[in-house]
Amino acid sequence: MEYFLTEEQQMIKELAARIADERIKPVAAELDEKGEFPWDLMKVLAESDLFGVWLPEEYGGLGGGVLEQVLVVEELSRACSGVAVSYAASGLGSYPILLFGSEEQKQKYLPDVASGAKLAAFGLTEANAGSDAGAIETTAVLDGDHYVLNGTKQWITNGGEAEIYTVIAMTDKSKGSRGASAFIVEKGTPGFSFGKKEDKMGIRASATRELIFEDCRIPKENLLGREGMGFIVAMRTLDMTRPGIGAQAVGIAQGALDVALAYARERKQFGQPIASFQAVGHMLADMATEIEAARALVYAVARTIDSGAKDFSKESAMAKVFASDVAMRVTTDAVQILGGYGYMKEYPVEKMMRDAKITQIYEGTNQIQRNVISLELIKQAARKR
């Protein structure tokens, strides 16, 4: 398909693809098995300037946007989505600064994110606040020139590895979700520590940990935007990054299709390649069709955002929901096509199936995404009357 990428976007896609094929693919199974954070690969991505593709040039980026970021995430995910999400989470952790930070905060933090010298992470989820993000219990209390943070964030991607954390905490519990605020917290701040590293089903190369705040004092200038804006910061950030989850899903699915197609052409049963059997051929056809549809939607939403659209929660949710459901179906079918081999760890598709599952869950479950979409539909219909 022709997606009319600019020369620069094509360059970004090709470089990310080269890193995926030459550097990530050979180590993906090992990273998965050991659950080791891929620092070597983060360094390769940093040296290739890929961390900055979506950031403005004045902060050391290449001046691209969501589409550029999506191209990188998709290519990396073809090889290993655990690596891809570690890359993408740095974007998730720094979008709040780009969107809501003061000029000083942007100058202080974004160049290091753009160069890949530092990773970022985003801390919203808590044990009792998943889909119900308004239920967060972490608090931030102003005390002189500092905010004092207390509470625990859970399942934070890049936790422990990142240097820069954007964290949502309650500054005024009585106001509910309007009492939340967003803060920048640097690793190494006294009172800020990390909990256990989670042992996950998939994306095992990525680090997922708790962020623990015990009377953690941060300078009050680390507040992002104003007090009470925390929920808006979080929602606007997630609107920007959901196409990235869609891209991750497209990449995983494409990787699985590539393996399944190659296998189906080689594997012979009843004296002929199994690809020649219509039952298998039609599965491959459906997989390829769904992937292309998902990719087209993800790119279109990314372009919509980059064009300066104001409200794109619905579209962003659609890209995430559709692509992640496609990834789950495609990877499951890939395992089916490889049969017994597909179920074994010697072949890469079982990992892809495990990796695909999380895309239906994180950055808002697909059920929550459907709530967002349907609510927007109803709101828009009501406005027309």
Partner 1 sequence: MQIIVCLKQVPDTTEVRINPETNTLMREGVASVINPFDMYAIEEALRIKESLGEGEVTVLSMGPPQAEASLREALSMGADKAVLLSDRAFAGADSLATAYTLAAGVAKLGEFGLVICGKQAIDGDTAQVGPSLAEQLDVPHATYVRKVQSLEDNKIVVERMTEDGYEVIELALPALITVLKDINQPRLPSLKGKMRAKKAEIPVWGKEDLDVDEKLCGLAGSPTQVVKIFTPERTRECRLIEGSAEEQAKVLASELKKII
Which residues are near partner 1 by CB under 8 A? 8, 11-12, 15, 18-19, 22-23, 44, 47-50, 53, 62
Q: Which is nearer to partner 1, 21 or 266 (CB)?
A: 21
Give residue 61's identity as a one-letter amino acid code: G
Q: Which is nearer to partner 1, 53 or 372 (CB)?
A: 53
What would the two tokens of residue 193 be? 């520590």
> What are the distances in angstroms from CA 268 to CA 20, 28, 262, 274?
29, 27, 12, 6
**Catalytic residue flag (residue 363):** yes
DSSP 259-288: HHHHHHHH-EETTEEGGGSHHHHHHHHHHH
Nearest distance in Å: CB 220, partner 1: 36
Nearest distance in Å: CB 109, partner 1: 20
Residue 223 DSSP SS3: strand
DSSP 83-110: HHHHHHHHHHHHHHHHHH--HHHHHHHH
Give residue 243's identity as a one-letter amino acid code: P
Distance of alpha carbon 50 from alpha carbon 23, whole angstroms:
14
Nearest distance in Å: CB 48, partner 1: 5
Residue 201 DSSP SS3: coil
Distance of alpha carbon 162 from alpha carbon 143, whole angstroms:
26
Distance of alpha carbon 318 from alpha carbon 245, whole angstroms:
11
Nearest distance in Å: CB 78, partner 1: 16
Q: Which is nearer to partner 1, 30 or 214 (CB)?
A: 30
- Report CA dihedral (147, 152, 154, 160) to the nearest 10 degrees: 70
Nearest distance in Å: CB 117, partner 1: 14
Query: Which residue in 104, 163, 363, 376 is the catalytic one?
Result: 363
Burial of 287 (0-12, 13-18, 19+ CB in 10 A): buried
Burial of 228 (0-12, 13-18, 19+ CB in 10 A): middle
Nearest distance in Å: CB 7, partner 1: 8
Q: Which is nearer to partner 1, 39 or 343 (CB)?
A: 39
Q: Which is nearer to partner 1, 68 or 350 (CB)?
A: 68
Q: Which is nearer to partner 1, 51 or 183 (CB)?
A: 51
Active site residues: 363
